[in-house]
Structure 1
């Protein structure tokens, strides 16, 4: 989820904790638990600092190690240790428990995005991405704000937040059902489909869909369970050629391929430069595919520039490549 949603989730969890009389009747403990849930709701995303290095490092590692099983167990210890430094008298086992709940919930809800996490690492490095909730979901964010507002005007925090999470459980169940229906319809229309990639949008009834068959990839969109087809591309596995193999040595392309399950590729000659381009088909927006990986090679197949990330126009992409060349 986005940072704002994780913040309000942390506040809501701090309010939910007051359903326990032990916490509700101890101002120091309730304040410490609130700090723990807010920090815990943000902690797994501290790897956002990887953006300062480059996109390749960020794409390959974001929601990886910091969302793994060891991290879910380590973050609460670090948070609790930090809080007890300032409040040595606090009931640290309770702070540790709510720190763990906050961190676990952060990782758990991220699984429902199309981006996903490596939540089972080190058992498995597979990305778990259920693709039923958009990165920013207005209903989830606003419902948290409403619950927090009710709390501030006098409603009991514990029961209010308990009601909130009951509603959200039903909401998540409905979103899972809707996605299953989209996949079912796609397979009915394409019985030979080997994969159906579904990504949610900010609108409840609108979904990005890529249907892959043994020979063709269809880029489509579902709105109220009706498909609108935009483009189709032949499904061509990555070939074992000198140009492609040289490009795959690049860290940007390597990061892209580690993340994207649905893409097309093309090779283009530009003067003395060979350009290898991979495009993720899941995020079509206004006729453009913004998530790409580009590798440019010289005549000796040496990498001279590359880029991976989000760009929303060809002009912006070429500017980034020119900057790298300079």
Structure 2
């Protein structure tokens, strides 16, 4: 989820913590717990700083080790210890418990996005991505804001947050039901479908879709069970030549492949420059595929430059690569 949603989730969990008699009757413990739930709801995303290094490192590692089983167990201990130094009158056990729930909730809700997490590490490096909730879901965020406002106007926080979570439970169930119906509609629309990717958007009924058959890639959009196919690409095996082998060893293309399960490739030549481009088919936006990995190689197949990330125009991509085709 996005940062704003994680913040309101942390505050809401702090309100629910009033159900704990130790927290409710001890002001110092409640203050410490609220601090722990807010920070704990954010701490797994500390790996966002990797973006300062480069996109390849960020794509490969974001929501990786910081969302893993060891991290979920370690963050609450570290945070609780630090917060306890500030609030030594607080009950350390209950501070740890609610901080742990905040960290766990962060990782748990992230698996419902299409990006997913490596929440099963070290047992598996598989990306767990259920793809039913957009990274920013206005209904989830809005419901939390309304609940927090009701609490601010004097309502009982335990009942308020309990009702909030009950509503969100049924909301998540409805998202799974809609996703399942869309997948079945895709299989009915495109006979012979093997892999189906269905990604949510900020609109409840509108979803991005991508599907594979033995011969083609299909990309489109679903509105409810109504399927619209916008693009159809012939599937071509990637050549096993020196150009491709060299390009695929580049850190940006390698990171892209580790993250993207559904992409197509292109090889273009501009004078003495060869371009190898990988295009993720899951994120079509305004007739453009913005998530790409590109490598430029010379005639001797030496990599000149490369890039992976989100680019919404060819001009911006050329600036990132510091290269002109003219």
| TM norm. shorter chain > 0.5 | yes
Whole-Å separation in 2 of the counterparts to 1:98 and 1:187: 44
Whole-Å separation in 2 of the counterparts to 1:203 and 1:87: 43
Whole-Å separation in 2 of the counterparts to 1:26 and 1:239: 67
TM-score of the pair, normalised by structure 1: 0.98
1:178 maps to which residue? 178
User: 1:156-187 deviations in whole A, cap 9, x for unaligned?
Assistant: 11110011001001000100110011111111
> Partner of 1:309: helix, strand, or coil?
strand
Contact 2:47–2:62 under 8 Å retained in 1: yes
Whole-Å separation in 2 of the counterparts to 1:132 and 1:309: 23
Is 1:53 matched up with 2:53?
yes
Q: How does 1:125-274 map to 2 (within 5 A)?
A: 125-274=125-274
Whole-Å separation in 1 of the counterparts to 2:176 and 2:109: 13
> Partner of 1:283: helix, strand, or coil?
coil
> What's the CA shift for 1:85?
1.1
Distance of aligned partners of 1:306 and 1:35 in 2 relative to their CA distance in 1, 3 Å threshold:
same
Of 254-263 and 237-246, more deviation after overlay is shown by 237-246
Cα RMSD (Å) of the superposition?
Answer: 1.1
> What's the CA shift for 1:21?
2.2
Whole-Å separation in 2 of the counterparts to 1:21 and 1:314: 59
Contact 2:189–2:227 under 8 Å retained in 1: no
> Partner of 1:236: helix, strand, or coil?
coil
> What's the CA shift for 1:323?
6.9
> Partner of 1:296: helix, strand, or coil?
strand
Contact 2:182–2:224 under 8 Å retained in 1: no
User: 1:250-269 deviations in whole A, cap 9, x for unaligned?
Assistant: 00000000000111100001
| Count of residues in Structure 1 that have an aligned counterpart in Structure 2 | 324
Distance of aligned partners of 1:250 and 1:22 in 2 relative to their CA distance in 1, 3 Å threshold:
same
1:35 maps to which residue? 35
Whole-Å separation in 1 of the counterparts to 2:254 and 2:153: 52
> What's the CA shift for 1:90?
1.4
Whole-Å separation in 2 of the counterparts to 1:44 and 1:20: 25
Whole-Å separation in 2 of the counterparts to 1:242 and 1:208: 35
Whole-Å separation in 1 of the counterparts to 2:112 and 2:240: 34
Contact 2:17–2:158 under 8 Å retained in 1: yes
Distance of aligned partners of 1:13 and 1:263 in 2 relative to their CA distance in 1, 3 Å threshold:
same
> Partner of 1:239: helix, strand, or coil?
coil
Whole-Å separation in 1 of the counterparts to 2:87 and 2:147: 29
Whole-Å separation in 1 of the counterparts to 2:255 and 2:211: 23
Whole-Å separation in 2 of the counterparts to 1:246 and 1:142: 48
Whole-Å separation in 1 of the counterparts to 2:252 and 2:205: 34
Of 236-245 and 127-136, more deviation after overlay is shown by 236-245
> Partner of 1:16: helix, strand, or coil?
helix
> What's the CA shift for 1:24?
1.1
Whole-Å separation in 2 of the counterparts to 1:192 and 1:231: 17
Is 1:288 matched up with 2:288?
yes
Q: Which runs of 5+ in 2 are unaligned?
A: none
TM-score of the pair, normalised by structure 2: 0.98
User: 1:267-293 deviations in whole A, cap 9, x for unaligned?
Assistant: 001111100000111110100111000
Whole-Å separation in 2 of the counterparts to 1:70 and 1:235: 40
